Amino acid sequence: MSAIPLTARGAERLQAELHRLKTIERPEVINAIAEARAQGDLSENAEYDAARERQAFVEGRIQELDGTLSNAQIIDPSKLDVEGKAVFGATVEIEDLESGERVKYQIVGDVEADIRSNQISVSSPVARALIGRAQGDVVEVKAPAGIREYEVVSVSYL
């Protein structure tokens, strides 16, 4: 498996989720299965089926996180010599040249991308257009709605 790029903050969040799953969720599911088994006939026991389904989800997520973290390559953009250019992990403020709307995005790995938190995947069209650009540059992004133009307002490394 190839290296999975992560920011330090993203790796910490995944570690915290893994810890919670192993120390809280897994024991809760085990107790729920034990309680459902104690009720007798398992063939028509909806609580048992739900607990087993939850167990499968928790164990699958634990395996997924273990795999991701074991193959993680943590990248700290503040330690890179990039001279104000947008790189993985950078926070980039852009302005839509048509509407004047400004938005800040942090460019992160596919695993930690969350548009609600303004964290976009490094493989997204916007991030691909921004990589290597500096303040004042104008970029074109090919979006499903057509080509959009943005100006890079600022680049920071948090």
Listed residues 74, 103, 131: the one ending a domain: 74
Range 10-14, long-range pairs (CB < 8 A, 24+ positions): 10/108, 10/109, 10/111, 10/112, 11/69, 11/72, 11/74, 13/112, 14/65, 14/68, 14/69, 14/72, 14/111, 14/112
CA atoms of 148 and 103, how far apart (whole Å): 14
Check whether residue 84 and residue 130 sit in a common domain: yes
Task: Looking at the structure, tell me whether residues 58 and 109 fall in a common domain.
Answer: no
Q: Is residue 125 within 8 Å of 46, Cβ to Cβ?
A: no
| 68 shares a domain with 10 | yes
Q: Are residues 59 and 27 in the same domain?
A: yes
Same domain, residue pair 64 and 90: no
**pLDDT in the model for residue 119:** 95
Domain that holds residue 98: 77-156
Residue 108 phi, psi (nearest 5): -130, 175
Please state the separation of Cα 131 from the chain's center in Å.
Answer: 18
What's the DSSP call for residue 116?
G
Whole-number pLDDT of residue 122 = 94
Q: What is the pLDDT of residues 60-106, one digit of tens each?
A: 999 999 999 999 999 988 787 778 899 999 999 999 998 999 999 99
Q: What is the pTM of this model?
A: 0.81
Q: Could you give the CA distance from residue 72 to residue 88 in angstroms, rounded to a whole number? A: 14
129 and 84 both lie in a single domain: yes
pLDDT tens digits in sequence order for the chain, 158 residues long: 588 999 999 999 999 999 999 999 999 999 999 988 888 777 777 888 899 999 999 999 999 999 999 999 999 887 877 788 999 999 999 999 989 999 999 999 999 999 999 999 999 999 999 999 999 999 999 888 889 999 999 999 87
> What is the distance between the alpha carbons of residues 19 and 25, in angstroms, rounded to a whole number?
9
Report the CATH number that the domain containing residue 60 is assigned in CATH.
Answer: 1.10.287.180
Tokens describing residue 8 = 């330090």
Q: What is the pLDDT of residue 84?
A: 86
